[in-house]
């Protein structure tokens, strides 16, 4: 048995974990499965399918000729599915880089209500495939070098009915980088918050800090702020961000926008959840 699978098996069958399954749980710290760009701790229920349309306009400082970025756009369309209450998977396609991506999301622990586990913990793994055309036909890219992989551990706590926080240590591995001076592995630590201002309105924020010396000189750390609007049947997320990307390997390691220079994108996520299997919630 693989060592990681053995550790996971021991964790899921430990007395503390089994005891935690018998208790009541705190409510979800976030409204949807995404904070802004990155995943939240929230899982789909078994049999639920979620369609997500992510849209990022161009930079606000692009000027009136580009209608301050509204003439430009990057889009990702994806489908997520809850195979079990504790296991989800999904796939999508982004116009930026013509990237296809897929992910698995596994709930490990849930925050207890009135005691028990103080945090919710979820494991996340994704892969992305860049299908864009080669710029120089004399230098083709072999298929395996088009892949990148991301591994994250999502740790969140709901402190009250209004405030929730999440930490996201992450590792992104690129099979191919632009030069020998760059590392194939990028380690980062993400942080996110959600503040519930009213029944249907919440403020959100998200930031990923990379270790020094890992990124190209023109790369920056992604920062995003936004609002979540709950309409009952779906969630509308509106935000400002310095990243035009919407998948992990892109916004963690390939963001180049400098906020102080006005490299800010207006964006939104539209999330619609369907019940495909089982009873309605």
pLDDT of residue 10: 55
Give 26-57 pLDDT, tens digit per residue. Answer: 788 888 899 999 999 999 999 999 999 999 99
Domain that holds residue 254: 3-275
CA angle 69, 39, 171 (to 5 degrees): 100
pLDDT of residue 35: 94
**What is the Cα–Cα distance from 114 to 179, expressed in whole angstroms?**
52
Beta bridge partners of 201: 229
CB atoms within 10 A of CB 197: 11
Domain count, the chain: 1
Looking up residue 187, the CATH number of its domain turns out to be 2.40.160.40
Higher pLDDT, 7 or 200: 200
Beta-strand pair 201-210/185-196: antiparallel
How does DSSP classify residue 212?
T
Q: Which residues contact 249 (CB under 8 A, 6 or more apart)?
A: 99, 126, 128, 148, 149, 150, 172, 174
Assigned domain for 264 exists: yes
Higher pLDDT, 192 or 176: 192
pLDDT of residue 150: 95
- Gyration radius from the chain CA atoms: 19
Mean pLDDT, the chain, as a whole number?
A: 85
pLDDT of residue 20: 46
Per cent of the chain over pLDDT 90 is: 50
Nearest to 244 by CA among 15, 26, 58, 34: 58
Is residue 268 within 8 A of residue 239, CB to CB? The reply is yes
Global pTM value:
0.82
Per cent of the chain over pLDDT 70 is: 87
Assigned domain for 281 exists: no
Q: Mean of the pLDDT values across residues 154-166?
A: 94
CA distance readout (Å), 246 to 21, 75, 92, 161: 34, 8, 10, 28
Assigned domain for 280 exists: no
Assigned domain for 182 exists: yes
CA distance readout (Å), 132 to 50, 98, 206, 216: 27, 5, 28, 21
């Amino acid at each position: 048995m693989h060592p990681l699978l053995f550790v996971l098996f021991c964790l899921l069958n430990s007395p503390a974990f089994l005891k935690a399954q018998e208790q009541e749980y705190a409510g979800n710290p976030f409204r949807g499965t995404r904070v802004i760009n990155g995943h939240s701790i929230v899982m789909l229920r078994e049999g639920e399918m979620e369609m997500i349309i992510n849209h990022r306009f161009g930079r606000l400082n692009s000027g009136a000729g580009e209608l301050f970025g509204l003439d430009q756009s990057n889009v990702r369309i994806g489908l997520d599915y809850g195979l079990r209450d504790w296991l989800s998977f999904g796939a999508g396609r982004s116009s930026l880089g013509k990237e296809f991506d897929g992910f698995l999301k596994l709930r490990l622990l849930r925050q207890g209500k009135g005691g028990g586990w103080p945090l919710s913990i979820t494991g996340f793994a994704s892969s992305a495939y860049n299908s864009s055309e080669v710029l120089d036909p004399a230098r083709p890219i072999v298929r395996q070098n088009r892949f990148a992989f991301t591994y994250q551990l999502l740790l969140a706590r709901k402190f009250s009915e209004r405030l929730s926080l999440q930490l996201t240590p992450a590792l992104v591995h690129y099979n191919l980088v632009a030069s020998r001076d760059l590392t194939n592995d990028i380690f980062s630590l993400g942080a996110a918050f959600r503040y519930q201002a009213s029944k249907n309105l919440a403020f959100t924020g998200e930031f990923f800090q990379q270790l020094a010396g890992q990124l190209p000189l023109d790369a920056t750390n992604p920062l995003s702020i936004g609002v979540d609007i709950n309409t009952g049947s779906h969630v509308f997320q509106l935000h400002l961000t310095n990243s035009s990307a919407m998948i992990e390997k892109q916004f963690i390691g390939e963001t180049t926008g400098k906020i102080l220079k006005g490299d800010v994108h207006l964006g939104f996520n539209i999330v619609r959840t369907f019940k495909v299997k089982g009873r309605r919630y």
